Amino acid sequence: MSLFNLSINDLYLLIFGLFLLWNNLEALFEFKKIRKGLQTIEVRDIIQLSKWRLFMLRIVGVFIFKWLIYLIAIAITENLFVIIVSIILGGLRLYISYFSLEKIQESRRLDFIVLMGELLFVIVFMGYYFGFNVS
């Protein structure tokens, strides 16, 4: 697919996909630094919101930045495997977003695995949609 033959919807999807790739790669490269920064934060230094309000704010952020690509991929591919992977990654991201600060400071591996899964999902879907051949 040529860049000049893209429709406006394809262009929007390309920009959104590149933004997600950049965001996930940056988070992956800064993972250790972010974890060290989270260890130094004290609970008393954070604005205290109710757990429900904080959870809802996280849901909106996760939907805009993570789940929207899952819904687009499901709508375009209509593949059972894509649906299952999207539900698993979306559910794990929802589980991580419900953590309190103490649990976030303790859990390292799950967040890293989900971040890698999201990155691979976006790479594979963008390759599928735009028809990039590896061979």
Tokens, residue 134: 């590896």
Residue 51: Cβ within 10 Å count: 10
Are 60 and 111 contacting, i.e. CB atoms less than 8 angstroms apart?
no
Question: Looking at residue 46, what is its pLDDT?
Answer: 56
**pLDDT one-digit tens code per residue, 87-134:** 998 888 877 777 655 565 566 677 788 888 989 999 999 888 887 655
Under the banding of pLDDT at 50, 70 and 90, the label for residue 135 is very low
DSSP-assigned letter for residue 131: T
**Picking from 5-9, 70-74, 91-95, 101-105, which range would have the lowest pLDDT averaged per residue?**
101-105
Taking the C-alpha atoms of residue 99 and residue 80, their distance in angstroms, rounded to an integer, is 29
pLDDT digits (tens, 9 = 90+) for 34-59: 666 655 655 555 556 566 666 677 77
- Please provide the size of the chain in residues: 135
Q: Where are the domains of the chain?
A: 3-130
CA 42 to chain centre: 26
Is residue 2 scored above 70 in pLDDT?
no
